[in-house]
Structure 1
């Protein structure tokens, strides 16, 4: 295999890795946003009133984290090797934040649901709200957000490890050469030349 063939194969492999990681990260970011919109907990109060606690209540930071992750995906498409490492680390940190949000909600669903319970009952205070909650049934979405966060961390680390193998931007710039346009000498030009003391019959 010639050196050119090896270089072409390396670029092709790097392009596949780049496209795969970027697509996976974009999908995970969208899943984070979807999880934020879904019901995380079904709460039943002591008077048998049912409440549905959405992710926007239980883990409000997920929307901002998902959007930040999508912005990073866009930036990665044109970033150079150094910035790929920086963006990869930022992506991993976003994943950690998603994991943290999911874990906090799962560990204390009463606190995660407190604002919704307070809005429904008019009762405030952590202890008073806890006394109002009879049962809490978690849905599948908190674990989904947890897994997605872990995968975002993996994607960020994969960007750091493989970023130097990614091909650069494929934008091409066409240079336009500007050449002076040569025109025929007119009588006005001859008169101007005479006025300035030049002989118009002399070739340049």
Structure 2
């Protein structure tokens, strides 16, 4: 294997391994608290990613599906799949930025679930303090890495080496590589009708000689 082929194989392996790792990291970040809210009566609420960024699991699953498709896609399709992966990463960054830009709105569903108060103005009136945890920033970084991986795949996937086929269809033939042709069965020998008639007449004559008391072999 040449140096370029080895380099292409390494790039391909890294491109296929990084998106699944980032997808798992998205699942982890989605389960963590993103916003800490303190109400005006002193009650504290922790709003996790399942409330502030409910779309993250769908993005993670789509990233895994795109990675699986990349492993089987042709060189012409890979850049498009890489571009889609980059768009998913940008969507993660946008979701994280939205939660970080307005923590109260991000945690409003958690506040409504606990207090029963609905409406943006009513929820904001109840909230005394809303602080962000590091997880929105961490998830935004993960999304940026996913987007960068998608761009790298779109630019380099045409140079990936072809996967080696382990099983090839064997060619029929002998050890020397020559095709073997089935031997034709020998045709049955032609039956000589005259000889058969002569043999039958001789047998009848022998029986007649025995019937007359003569020796059929004395001729």
Quick check: 1:137 aligned with 2:131? yes
Q: Tell me if the contact between 2:103 and 2:131 (Cα under 8 Å) persists in the aligned partners.
A: no
**Larger mean Cα displacement after TM superposition, 57-66 or 73-82:** 73-82
> Residues 158-204 of structure 1, C-alpha deviation per residue, up to 9 Å, x if partnerless?
0011111111222333214568876978xxxxxxxxxxxxx8436xx
Q: Which moves more between the two structures, 170-179 or 25-34?
A: 170-179
Q: 2:113 aligns to what?
A: 119
1:39 maps to which of 27, 33, 39: 33
- The question of whether the paired residues in 2 share the 8 Å contact of 1:39 and 1:52 is answered with yes
> SS at 1:142's partner residue?
helix
Question: CA-to-partner distance for each residue in 1:66-95, whole Å, 9 max, x for gaps?
Answer: 111111112212222111101100000001
* Structure 2 counterpart of 1:59, from 37, 53, 57: 53
Distance 1:90 1:33 in 2: 19
Number of equivalenced pairs: 183
Structure having greater relative contact order (Cα 8 Å, sep ≥ 6): 1
Matched, 1:201 2:195: no
CA distance in structure 2 between the aligned counterparts of 1:49 and 1:181, rounded to whole angstroms:
89
Corresponding residue to 1:172 among 166, 171, 179: 166
Report the Cα distance in structure 1 between the residues aligned to 2:45 and 2:189, rounded to whole angstroms. Answer: 99
Pairwise CA distance, 1:101: 0.5
Mapped to 2, the partners of 1:180 and 1:50 lie a distance apart of 85
Matched-pair contact (CA < 8 Å) for 1:77–1:169: no
Alpha carbons 1:80, 1:168 under 8 Å: kept:
no
**TM, length-normalised to structure 2:** 0.77
Q: How big is each residue's C-alpha offset from its partner over 1:27-85, in whole Å with a ceiling of 9 and x where there is no partner?
A: 21211111111110111111111111010100111110011111111221222211110
What CA distance in whole angstroms lies between the structure 2 residues aligned with 1:107 and 1:16? 39
* 1:29 and 2:23 are equivalent in the alignment: yes
Match of 2:4 among 4, 7, 10: 10
Which one of 96, 100, 107 corresponds to residue 102 of structure 1? 96
Structure 2: give runs of 5+ residues left out of the alignment: 173-179, 191-219
Cα offsets for 1:125-166 (capped at 9, x unmatched): 000011111111211100011111111111111001111111
Structure 1 spans left out of the alignment, 5+ residues: 186-198
Query: CA offset at residue 113 of structure 1?
Result: 0.8
Q: Report the 3-state secondary structure (helix = DSSP H, G, I; strand = E; otherwise coil) of the residue aligned with 1:171.
A: coil
Tell me if structure 1 keeps the 8 A contact 2:20–2:64: yes
Report what 1:188 is aligned to.
none
